[in-house]
Structure 1
């Protein structure tokens, strides 16, 4: 369906609100799609400017083009820039052939009418874990193939917990976690650090607690949502979490944990390399739900998507490139490079065999949810922003958790109308 200029401009604003919570910064200029046909040039955009052409990722992209009989011209830029330029390129009729986008952005690009369905292209997604694939599904149709997933869990400092007499296996729910934090504080150490900043990172980090209480994003001000926000506020008020969580990004929150003075740090798969360099023994446990068990956590990661082209004859080669990038052998290598959990059970098994430390992350991804899943789609940004605003207001003491979430729900209702 052809979309109006206004739809695309509105979509650009939406993409801008959905910044990737784990992507590295940087960027480069975009380029127009090349001409079709075997032996031609196919354009490829991704959000990995940290990897140049000599990297394992850069070489894989080139290799997949060679195997498809074409040259791939790769352009890397930060994730927000990529989404915005994709919409503008579609408006101008020169979208790239293949594009990796942060999973919450998929629904925005679909609404703008610029992505092909994987089914229409004959791309096989049957082996993809359903909850991971769901982040790129709209109205029952898939619009991309996940390259991998990352998510959140609790890192813990073994020495700090041992000194406080806390067994990490005893942390099974909110009450036992709070009890552990109190023991740590009494032993002269610090409790837990996380990111509650007023951006998508803050919402991303709050969601496990919100969902872990049984919260529903369409009803922010429910008693369940209030319970989650009250938990965080209680930790800050009681000195079990630092007040600077209000300014912490996930990076600065990690830096606090890496000082070795905190018992727990909420962070992601992407910090595993840094954890190994931290200089102290650590472990990882799932974020607990209010009443026990692992809380649902949000999925991060990118989808390989195929923008709509004027020349539909290009799709046969494009399909070969996408299939190459998402083959089991290449996923194993790629997800190791990107610190992602693979989107298929078979590759996850191989990952854990190679690195047993990934087991808790595979379990966390199995319990994860897409932020735009459940039919939310492009409504998610109109919910997420009021939610992170409520977190800021409550933790700073500006409003009670109930009043803050009441205001958030009103703002979400207005934004979604």
Structure 2
């Protein structure tokens, strides 16, 4: 049974990352720890942009010193990191610590690559449960978050003012539609978002999906249809450009930066860029009013299985230092993470009041792999973004597209 489970998890990971061809080219010699008295602990992260002079690299060195060891850190891009983590785990040659994108945690855990907090001694302490949820599978917790990022609606005050729209009036979908209509009538453009057929598309659609009351276990529900109808109507009515069908979060942001659009759905990582252009922020609203659940983004610190379990104690010390709210607040990693604890969030707000909307958004956020979806999530997400593409392009109605999506999910998960 365990072998079957591992094979299924590995298969899902390969399907999601699209990395079958590249796995054979990965070397197993880059793996991690050997025995507990080793003075060097290996750490892989998805931040290749940060070199040895960065605040992030300095924090890693500091945390290693406090734990009495040297940390050898390697940064990979996200896909490459996932590939190497999988291969190293199969070869039982994992690094001591892995920092991975949160949806990957449950897949690596299901494949038997990660230790849980009972084994490794990591403390989850006061971490907010909705953020921690991405690391939970079958009641066990397999890591701790570095923090969380998520989505909200940036708006251009000049465009709204010219259209006679008060951003405070946007309290539900109907009032957002009214605002978009006024913006279009004033000769400006409405809203940009990433509707591409990748995980970015699902990520951006989820606030509206969940904001309608839909559930990922039933993609063809009336609530899900309402959410997809909202998006497709925006394209039909000219509130959103046709380009959203292929827009990534980066390209949709570039459209917003032209100054022609009223709204742009995007994340905390655009905070500095938004400030430069004078953009401001509101939370995404549910269909009937109130902040919508948004998906939690960000990475998790995990401790892979080692031949010598005595290494976990030191690995846990390093992780607890790296994930400390104080350190995340002080370390400029340019990603503008929201700290994962309420006390840390308050400290963050005391130093940067512009994080208030983001803290509010994270407060009602949900893990994509939450509700114990685990390794089912990549299958569901792929069919969700496929349905979004069909409806956006007019190839199928929202009802038909989501019905086909649910049928495909059932077929794949019930094999």
TM score, norm. by length of structure 1: 0.94
* CA-to-aligned-CA distance 1:343-402 (integer Å, 9 cap, x gap): 011111111111111100000001100000001110011111111111111111111110
Matches within 5 A, 1:138-157: 138-157=137-156
Q: CA deviation digits over 1:130-157, x for unaligned, max 9?
A: 1000111111211101001000000000
After superposition, what is the alpha-carbon deviation per residue over 1:201-259, rounded to whole angstroms, capped at 9, x for unaligned? 00000000000000011111111010001001111000000000001000000000011
Structure 1 residues 12 and 288 mapped into 2: Cα distance closer, same or farther (>3 Å)?
closer
- 1:329 corresponds in structure 2 to 326
Name the residue aligned to 1:163.
162
Deviation at 1:272, TM superposition (A): 0.5
Q: TM-score, normalised by structure 2?
A: 0.94
Residue by residue over 1:133-190, the C-alpha shift from the partner in whole angstroms, topping out at 9 and shown as x without a partner, is 0111111211101001000000000010011000000000000000000000000100
- Which residue matches 2:23? none
CA distance in 1, matches of 2:88, 2:362: 33
| Residue 78 to residue 85, structure 1, CA distance change in 2 (3 Å) | same
8 Å Cα contact 1:165-1:183 kept in structure 2: yes
* Aligned equivalents of 1:265, 1:8: Cα separation in 2: 35
Alpha-carbon distance between aligned partners in 1 of 2:173 and 2:75, rounded to the nearest angstrom: 41
Where do residues 74-85 of structure 1 align in structure 2 (5 Å cutoff)? 74-85=73-84
Contact between 2:121 and 2:312, CA under 8 Å: does it hold in 1?
no
Q: Which residue of 2 aligns with 1:99?
A: 98
Runs of 4+ deviating beyond 6 Å: 27-30
Q: Secondary structure at the match of 1:153?
A: strand
Match of 1:10 in 2: 11
Match runs of 1:39-78 below 5 Å: 40-78=39-77
Q: Is the 8 A contact 1:38 1:317 kept in 2?
A: no
Unaligned 5+ residue runs, structure 1?
Answer: 19-26
CA change 1:203–1:168 in 2 (3 A) is: same
Q: Residue in 1 aligned with 2:346?
A: 349
2:90–2:113 Cα contact (<8 Å) kept: no
Q: 1:336 to 1:357 in 2, by over 3 A?
A: farther
Give the RMSD, CA atoms, in angstroms.
Answer: 1.9
Structure 2 Cα separation of the partners of residues 334 and 140 of structure 1: 32
- 1:24 maps to which residue? none
- Structure-2 residue corresponding to 1:89: 88
Distance 1:164 1:28 in 2: 58
Maintained 8 Å contact 2:113/2:305:
yes
Q: How does 1:10-409 map to 2 (within 5 A)?
A: 10-16=11-17, 31-38=30-37, 40-278=39-277, 281-334=278-331, 337-409=334-406
Assess if the C-alpha contact under 8 Å between 1:35 and 1:42 holds in 2.
no
**C-alpha separation in 1, matches of 2:332 and 2:126:** 16
- Size of the alignment, in residue pairs? 407
User: How far did residue 329 of structure 1 move?
Assistant: 2.1
* Residue 328 of structure 1: how far off its partner (Å): 3.0
Q: Aligned partners of 2:253, 2:181: CA distance in 1, in Å?
A: 21
